[in-house]
Amino acid sequence: MCPQPEDSTPHSTGPPDRQILRLLERHLASDSLVAETEFDPDSYEPRLLHALLDAGRYPESIETARLDIRWFTTGNFSIHYVEEHDDEMLWECRWDRHPNNHNSRLHFHQPPDATDVTDLTFSSLHPLEVYSTVLTAVDQRLETLWSNQ
């Protein structure tokens, strides 16, 4: 019996969806909150999209903030929001959709350390709807940060 390829295992996310990653990159690149975008390993065969957020929009105690986005041809995804604070602490959360043993396929890793997980529902799983939901949450996080100053 031949071994199964990694992408066909029961808990596999599948291969990267390069078209969706490029679509999301175009939207992020035009968003005023985003300072720059970068594909990993490159734009020809992206597996991961990084969006560095504009540090000028954050309080001084936050050195960097970014989104790391993975999207797969199976409709699975991971959108990881990370803030790096000047005291070397991280504040992070993650929206995920993938088969797993810990929660429903669609779930959220809660801040501040993304370890507590809760089930999640979206009205639509279209990539631009998910993108909009995540950016709204980032905007709300910014409002909270500034209101606590």
What tens-digit pLDDT sequence spans the chain (149 residues)? 333 334 444 557 889 999 999 999 999 999 999 999 999 998 888 999 999 999 999 999 999 999 999 999 999 999 999 999 999 999 999 999 998 888 889 999 999 999 999 999 999 999 999 999 999 999 999 999 999 88
pLDDT value, residue 7: 40
CA distance 28 to 51: 7
pLDDT at 11 (0 to 100): 59
**What pLDDT, on a 0 to 100 scale, did the predictor assign at position 103?**
84
* pLDDT score recorded for residue 2: 37
63: its two tokens: 């050195």
What's the pLDDT at 100? 85
The Cα–Cα gap between 108 and 142 comes to 19
Secondary structure (DSSP) of 110-136:
-TTBS-SEEE---S---HHHHHHHHHH
User: Which tokens in the block code for residue 73?
Assistant: 């041809």
Least Cα distance to 139 among 70, 25, 58, 69 occurs for: 58
Is residue 20 exposed (0-12), middle (13-18) or buried (19+ Cβ within 10 Å)? buried
The predicted model scores a pTM of 0.89
Instruction: Compute the residue count for the chain.
Output: 149
Amino acid at 141: R
Backbone angles phi, psi at 4, to 5 degrees: -75, 145
